Structure 1
Amino acid sequence: MAETLVRFEGVRKTYGGTAAAVVGLDLDIARGELLTLLGPSGSGKTTTLMMLAGFEMPSAGRILLEGRDIAHTAPHRRGIGVVFQSYALFPHMTVAENVAFPLSVRSIGRGERDERTRKALAMVRLDGFADRRPAQLSGGQQQRVALARALVFEPPIVLLDEPLGALDKALREEMQLEIRHLHQRLGVTMMYVTHDQAEALTLSDRIAVFEGGRIRQCADPKRLYDRPADAFVAGFVGENNLLPGIVATREGDDCTVRLACGPVVSAQAVDCGGVGERCLVAIRPERIAVAGVDAADLGERAMPATLQEAIFLGDHVRLRLGLGDGGEVLAKRPTGIGTLPEPGGPASIAWPEGAAFAFRDAAKQG
């Protein structure tokens, strides 16, 4: 196993009399990995990053960096690189001076400082920009400068707090790949905070999904997407249909669920409770097959539906289908495959065995 670089042990953060922002956090970050903290606003992910950076103090617990408790160490003594969404560049300094600043405060000699600054700028593809001011750069270029500044003094870990949030979609996607490739090339440890699921899936070795100050699941992107641990993760990471129902039978890791719209379907019993309990059946839109009137096309698992809307999105068509109880499901079908019924017309849907997961419907319990 990779060596643990950072460890959170029972970390808690409260603000006055309000509910805890972070509750009982236990988390290890391996040396050389890119770990993303993903979650909605107020879930505790940024507070976690700020505690590691030293800008927030934990109310309880320990934060270890290379085995050393740093919970009460001043930020500038932790030797951690930080990249903010706002870039936080000095407008009166040149690009080179901004990048060299962490070396200057560490009293690195002029010759070594210039050489490391040159290498850092080349690393982020900003050769030739050394004498420009931040105001003369695009948003993406400024973000590269901020990244070079965080890396130039070779910190043990770099923290990135929603660094691409101010960029447009195309530039954000380009920078995601650039950060990923930079991480792979340098092997530097990174903790990355975002609320963008696609960004997390693109960048990460592992993703920790936060909700209510707790980690709901921490896993590699594929496992997180294919095997969500609960209904919150299933609904937050990527698109998922969450169909309400009641557990009809359960045997080990398999169960059947009577959906609110009538049909009984099989699912993998991740966290669905016992027979008679309310649950949610999760099925990804891309796993749902759609046929016309002839339900036999999809086999015995097919259930009736009504095509309500079809939206062309280039490489796929997004379908909204109504079910018998007034509910609906979303499906994605590759462009140019098969013939769809007209909106308002009857259809049928099905999904492969093992593609659905059943979770406890926490909102309906009790």
Structure 2
Amino acid sequence: MADTLVRFEGVRKTYGGAAAAAVVGLDLEIARGELMTLLGPSGSGKTTTLMMLAGFEMPSAGRILLEGRDIAHTAPHRRGIGVVFQSYALFPHMSVAENVGFPLSVRGVGRAEREARVLKALGMVRLEGYADRRPVQLSGGQQQRVALARALVFEPPIVLLDEPLGALDKALREEMQLEIRHIHQRLGVTMMYVTHDQAEALTLSDRIAVFEGGRIRQLADPKRLYDRPADAFVAGFVGENNLLPGTIEARDGEDCTVRLACGPVVAAQAVDCGAAGQPCLVAIRPERVAVAGVTASDLGEGALPAVLQEAIFLGDHVRLRLSLGDGGEILAKRPAGVGALPEPGGPAAIAWPEGAAFAFRAAG
């Protein structure tokens, strides 16, 4: 990768033996100026990866390079990396200005320069008038901004953010997601962001590394990750997906037909699946599923008969649960107020655009 800032080379982290590997054979590059998000469930290895880069965990094997220099065994305070934790870790007895200026104080920066840089950092996070307040006088979102200003004030080559919005309510969390994205865009600072929240990752990131079992399952930009998941785990974890079990009936390159376990035969793109006769999962995003209160033949070729079981109004959209074939079930989403729906318990038809369904190998 051109202008690589951070490189993980064959990094492994174990606790008490190979059976307790938290990160396995990690190879990852982060470009200068990139906002890279590590996304995954609890225990997937994403936070361990961030902690190894920060220096709070030592790798069991491999190298971690920062600007070409191996820092795998360098003390945290000698790496010059900014870190923002979920707890913010602000000093309660210090003012906002003193908290933000602390990294400069320990680096021996003079008072005049320190004050100027603190004011600049507070301006970056829109807290210019809060320099004399104590953390207890701030809201959760303001405390998070102070922590971010403190991580930025000494102009580190990279800032690491470990679930920094986890303690905020939904509305404030969404506001701060955009704030962090805008700060990144304005300053061009390199960031590594850890979260288990898929929507947060899609909102913030230039690229997303999806972790599972200590490995990266897919590394891609948000749109490709959402539109073209690499396997069934990514399809099920990133956003919402119908994952319908079935068996490959025929395969021709990247195209295949699948007989679903509930009976119908559907076309799909063969992303990560075997040959004819192999079990698979067919993934279809709920928002790609069209629903009509008519017979399947009225929706055209490829439409499937279904029965509407439930329609839940969620403000901007309606969530539909339909039974499909012999015991199958599929979810659909439709913008609220668009078109008529069948009555619950009544017949319906479903269809989706060509290329919207993907076939993956079944787990195990």
Question: Whole-Å Cα distance in 2 between the matches of residues 20 and 34 of structure 1?
Answer: 26
Q: Which amino acid aligns with 1:170?
A: A
Aligned-partner SS, 1:333? strand
Cα offset for 1:261? Answer: 1.3
Q: Is the CA contact 2:295–2:305 (under 8 Å) kept in the aligned structure 1?
A: no
Structure 1 segments of 4+ aligned residues over 3 angstroms from their partners: none
Aligned to 2:276: 275
Q: Is 257-266 or 70-79 further displaced after alignment?
A: 257-266
Task: Say if 2:15 is the partner of 1:15.
Answer: yes
Question: Whole-Å Cα distance in 1 between the matches of residues 166 and 360 of structure 2?
Answer: 32
Cα offset for 1:293? Answer: 2.7
For 1:4-83, list aligned pairs within 5 A.
4-17=4-17, 18-83=19-84
Aligned to 2:262: 261
Q: Which amino acid aligns with 1:362?
A: A
For 1:61-210, list aligned pairs within 5 A.
61-210=62-211
Question: Whole-Å Cα distance in 1 between the matches of residues 16 and 341 of structure 2?
Answer: 57
Question: Whole-Å Cα distance in 1 between the matches of residues 360 and 297 of structure 2?
Answer: 29
Q: Is the CA contact 2:264–2:325 (under 8 Å) kept in the aligned structure 1?
A: no
Q: Which amino acid aligns with 1:127?
A: E
Aligned-partner SS, 2:319? strand
Q: Which amino acid aligns with 1:253?
A: E
Aligned to 1:359: 360
Q: Is the CA contact 1:289–1:298 (under 8 Å) kept in the aligned structure 2?
A: no
Aligned to 1:3: 3
Aligned-partner SS, 1:258? strand
Cα offset for 1:49? Answer: 0.1
For 1:218-237, list aligned pairs within 5 A.
218-237=219-238
Cα offset for 1:34? Answer: 0.1
Q: Which amino acid aligns with 1:9?
A: E
1:69-92: per-residue Cα shift (whole Å, max 9, x none)?
000000000000000000000000
1:211-268: per-residue Cα shift (whole Å, max 9, x none)?
0000000000000000000000000000000011000000111111011111111110
Question: Whole-Å Cα distance in 2 between the matches of residues 121 and 338 of structure 1?
Answer: 49
Q: Is the CA contact 1:320–1:329 (under 8 Å) kept in the aligned structure 2?
A: yes
Q: RMSD of the alignment, in Å?
A: 0.8
1:289-328: per-residue Cα shift (whole Å, max 9, x none)?
0011332332111111111110011111000011122121
Specify every segment of 5 or more residues in structure 2 that has no aligned partner in the other structure, as ranges.
Answer: none
Alignment coverage as a number of residue pairs: 363
Q: Which amino acid aligns with 1:193?
A: V
1:329-361: per-residue Cα shift (whole Å, max 9, x none)?
110011112111111111111111111000000
Q: Is the CA contact 1:306–1:345 (under 8 Å) kept in the aligned structure 2?
A: yes
Calculate percent identity across the aligned residue pairs: 88
Aligned to 1:290: 291
Q: Is the CA contact 2:303–2:351 (under 8 Å) kept in the aligned structure 1?
A: yes
Aligned to 1:213: 214
Aligned to 2:318: 317
Q: Which amino acid aligns with 2:47?
A: T
Task: Say if 2:245 is the partner of 1:244.
Answer: yes
Cα offset for 1:67? Answer: 0.2
Aligned-partner SS, 1:225? helix
Task: State the TM-score, normalized to the length of structure 2.
Answer: 0.99
Question: Whole-Å Cα distance in 2 between the matches of residues 147 and 2 of structure 1?
Answer: 27
Question: Whole-Å Cα distance in 2 between the matches of residues 362 and 316 of structure 1?
Answer: 32
Q: Is 331-340 or 203-212 further displaced after alignment?
A: 331-340
Specify every segment of 5 or more residues in structure 1 that has no aligned partner in the other structure, as ranges.
Answer: none
